[in-house]
């Protein structure tokens, strides 16, 4: 069991006049409120997973909350099962993480504490509700275990209009019903993010002002910004004139009307879009089309949990880039790109 000493060591100023028992009761009360909500009540497995990790943490067993142990104790897998090929724990954790994010978009905590699932971790975090009310003015609003895992959006374009972004982010409510149930979708984005907590959306500069991007492109990438939030990552918008993102910590998603990642100019159907996945140590995703309509179509497809292109599902496991062509009313076609030199472009950077 968690002792008073253990909690006080974590955050001494946070628990003045409060006992470990009171804290545990508050978190258990919050857990019951979450599991009673339709988002969790309709999925007993998600609720069971959340109960398992929260209870284990409160009982002082955080170091035991690992993928293999969860797989054997909660999902009945043999002790020697292959966690690499059996993703049951990772998929369930992702779904719980997304549902928690949706829950707190609609509800305040009932106990004064929020329960969060940090990205790529199975140990929950307990965060004071006050942190979300006045983070800039309340110095005691700090997290019990680690830093807050609340995703945000960082804008590097100094000329970008904040009111426009705020209006776009209100559309996230329309995305709540998609709870990331598509396994190919989850596996693709998990693999692309692997070890990274930021997604940099790199757009073409506006011809009228090279320091900014166009409003049309900003609208088109809204589903990607929403997906970043739901994946627990930070969305960072910049244009291609800015310094390149650090691939060790940031996944670059390039959105362009000018050329394919090989440098070849875009030709043919102006409404068609090309989605290219470049695997490697620092993977990248390129979305190219001559029109905003094509860009929007491609983005909607790769952020759709039900219709996520199967052709991209295995793309990050290949040694060479994969490109798919998307056009309204036409079948998606895929191509493995064995050599970039053949198209006159520079070698792939990975």
Q: What percentage of the chain has pLDDT greater than the value 90?
A: 21
Average pLDDT over the chain reads 76
pTM: 0.51
Kindly report which listed range (48-52, 150-154, 219-223, 328-332) carries the lowest average pLDDT score: 150-154
Most confident of 248-257, 258-267, 335-344: 248-257
Residue-wise over 270-293: b if at least 16 C-beta within 10 A, else e?
ebbbbbbbbbeebbbbbbbbbbbb
Tell me the mean pLDDT in the region 164-192: 55
Residue-wise over 313-344: b if at least 16 C-beta within 10 A, else e?
bebbeeeebbbbbbbeeeeeeeeebeebeeee
Q: What is the pLDDT of residues 279-304, one digit of tens each?
A: 888 899 999 998 888 999 999 888 88
What was the pLDDT predicted at 19?
60
pLDDT tier at 36, thresholds 50, 70, 90: very high
Tell me the mean pLDDT in the region 39-51: 88
pLDDT at 140 over 90: no
pLDDT tier at 131, thresholds 50, 70, 90: low
What was the pLDDT predicted at 132?
61
What is the domain partition of the chain in residue ranges?
Answer: 4-133, 153-343
The pairing of strands 273-278 and 322-326 is antiparallel
The torsion defined by the Cα of 107, 43, 66 and 125, in degrees rounded to 10, comes to 10
Tell me the mean pLDDT in the region 151-156: 41
Q: What is the pLDDT of residues 305-320, one digit of tens each?
A: 777 887 787 788 788 8
What was the pLDDT predicted at 55?
93
């Amino acid at each position: 069991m968690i002792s008073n000493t253990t909690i006080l060591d974590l955050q001494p100023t946070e628990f003045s006049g409060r006992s470990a028992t009171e804290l545990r009761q508050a978190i258990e009360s919050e857990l019951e409120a979450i599991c009673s909500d339709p988002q969790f009540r309709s999925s007993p497995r998600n609720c069971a997973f959340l109960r398992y990790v929260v209870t284990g943490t409160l009982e002082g067993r955080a170091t035991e909350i690992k993928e293999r142990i969860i797989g054997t104790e909660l999902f009945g897998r043999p002790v020697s099962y292959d966690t690499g090929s059996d993703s049951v724990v990772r998929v369930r954790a992702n779904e719980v993480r997304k549902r928690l994010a949706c829950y707190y978009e609609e509800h305040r905590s009932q106990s004064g504490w929020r329960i969060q699932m940090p990205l790529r971790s199975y140990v929950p975090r307990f965060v004071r509700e006050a942190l979300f009310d006045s983070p800039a003015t309340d110095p005691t609003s700090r997290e019990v275990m680690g830093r807050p895992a609340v995703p945000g959006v960082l804008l590097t374009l100094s000329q970008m209009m904040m009111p426009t972004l705020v209006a776009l982010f209100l559309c996230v409510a329309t995305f709540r019903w998609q709870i990331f149930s598509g396994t190919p979708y989850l596996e693709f984005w998990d693999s692309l993010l692997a070890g990274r907590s930021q997604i940099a959306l790199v757009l073409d500069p506006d011809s009228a002002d090279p320091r900014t991007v166009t409003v049309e492109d900003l609208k088109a990438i809204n589903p990607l910004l929403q997906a970043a939030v739901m994946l627990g990552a930070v969305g960072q918008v910049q244009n291609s004139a800015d310094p390149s993102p650090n691939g060790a910590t940031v996944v670059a998603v390039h959105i362009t009307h000018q050329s394919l990642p090989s440098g070849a100019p875009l030709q043919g159907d102006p409404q068609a879009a090309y989605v290219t996945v470049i695997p490697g140590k620092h993977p990248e995703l390129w979305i190219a089309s001559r029109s905003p309509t094509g860009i929007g179509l491609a983005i909607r497809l790769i952020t759709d949990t039900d219709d996520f292109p199967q052709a991209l599902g295995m793309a990050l496991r290949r040694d060479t880039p994969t490109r798919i062509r998307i056009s309204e009313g036409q079948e998606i076609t895929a191509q493995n790109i064995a050599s970039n030199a053949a198209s006159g472009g520079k070698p792939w950077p990975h």
